[in-house]
Amino acid sequence: MATLTNIEAVTRTLQEEMRRDPNIFITGEDVGVRGGVFRATKGLIEEFGEQRVVDAPLAESSIVGIGIGAALYGLRPVCEIQFADFIAPAFNQIVNEAARMRYRSNGAWTCPLIIRAPYGGGIGGGLYHSQSVEATYAHVPGLYFVAPATPYDIVGMLRYAFRVNDPVLFLEHKKAYRLIKGDVPDEWYTVPFCRADVKRAGSDVTVIAFGLMLHESLKAAETLANEGISVEVVDPRTLSPLDKETILASVRKTSKVLIVYEDNLSFGWGAEVAAIIASEAFEYLDAPVMRVAGPDVPAVPFARTLQDFFMPNADKIARALRALAAY
């Protein structure tokens, strides 16, 4: 058993997989000599060389486009988008090319491509280094969209990503990179996609959260446990396709549910989860489905006070859970 941070889990798994498969290569801005802006690829160019750890120009459409072409001809590219905020120039490549490849070719072509994207706020990054992009890309069939929040899940899901033949958008919360630590078994394992995980069992109310918001929700659940309120915390892990069964089973168990995400509230990923619960577990609900999310402003502000206003946290989540429990 090893204790790793989230960023160490990413680096170690990339290194392990590159040793296993010579067809794997990494490309992105500053991934080589610098080791990435967050140091996720630190040390890899020294071991694998510049043919497999490739510094790319500041052109996300090119980074992903090259990855798609390489994937179609037998390689296993890992494309790093330096910040998820910068992923928009690659939208056409991701949505209209990578995600459509298997469908449009009637299964003749696949696109085994991993796109890693650090996302989320809370680091004082301001408008262009704090965004969450899940609502845009979870909407796209043909694309696995995952957001593991612990070292155990990062290792297992990144390993699994190298073993599927479709594109994977792999979100990594940048504030959690060094904030979160956890045990990773020495034994080899994977965490398959489309399987949610109950991170904390409870009986009074369910909270559904991923990424940094999972950890804030676990803090809130601990606070409420001291007040006699039992909170079940469900981590979807895969944002799309969604494990509806685990989510619905928890809702049927507790009859009250809070969905937490840090993107803007309106038209967000949590709205789709709320719609699924309303349509498939309505008769089990004892209270309205509630959400805690960021406000509907263009992006996370730079000023610390305004950033704190924008970001959901354990206190805001706890207040919503108390209201649900008392409903």
Token couple for 19: 């040793």
Q: Are residues 205 and 171 in the same domain?
A: no
Q: What is the CATH number of the domain that holds 281?
A: 3.40.50.920
Q: Are residues 212 and 179 in the same domain?
A: no
Q: How far apart are CA 276 and CA 237, in angstroms?
A: 17
pLDDT of the residue at 84? 97
Average pLDDT, the chain: 97
In this structure, is residue 155 part of a structural domain?
A: yes
Q: How far apart are CA 88 and CA 106, in angstroms?
A: 27
Q: Are residues 178 and 201 in the same domain?
A: no
Q: Are residues 316 and 293 in the same domain?
A: yes
pLDDT of the residue at 112? 97
Catalytic residue status for 139: no
Q: How many residues does the chain have?
A: 327
Count of the separate structural domains present in the chain = 2
Spatial neighbors of 288 by CB under 8 A, at least 6 apart, are: 327
Strands 257-264 and 290-294, sheet pairing: parallel
In this structure, is residue 191 part of a structural domain?
A: no
Question: Cα dist. 186→16, 43, 85, 152, 155 in Å?
Answer: 12, 21, 34, 11, 11
Domain stops at, among 152, 184, 216:
184
Q: Consecutive sets of 10 residues in the chain, 327 residues long: mean pLDDT of each?
A: 97 98 98 96 98 97 98 97 97 97 96 98 94 96 98 98 98 98 97 98 98 98 98 98 98 98 97 98 97 96 95 98 96
List, for residues 59-108, the tens digit of each pLDDT value.
999 999 999 999 999 999 999 999 999 999 999 999 999 999 999 999 99
Q: Are residues 36 and 161 in the same domain?
A: yes
H/E run at residue 92? helix 91-92
Q: How far apart are CA 90 and CA 97, in angstroms?
A: 10
Q: Are residues 78 and 206 in the same domain?
A: no
Single out the residue of 220, 214, 206 nearest to residue 248, CA to CA. Answer: 206
Q: Are residues 16 and 90 in the same domain?
A: yes
List, for residues 215-233, the tens digit of each pLDDT value.
999 999 999 999 999 999 9
Residue 201 lies in domain: 197-326
Domain stops at, among 157, 184, 211:
184
Write out the DSSP string of 114-153.
EEEEEE-SSSS--TTSS---HHHHTT-TT-EEE---SHHH
Single out the residue of 221, 294, 214 nearest to residue 262, CA to CA. Answer: 294
Q: Are residues 250 and 287 in the same domain?
A: yes
The residue from 129, 139, 173, 215 that is catalytic is 129
In this structure, is residue 192 part of a structural domain?
A: no
Q: Are residues 279 and 221 in the same domain?
A: yes
pLDDT of the residue at 122? 95
- What pTM was estimated for this model as a whole? 0.97
pLDDT of the residue at 66? 97
HEC letters along 48-76? HCCCCEEECCCCHHHHHHHHHHHHHCCCE
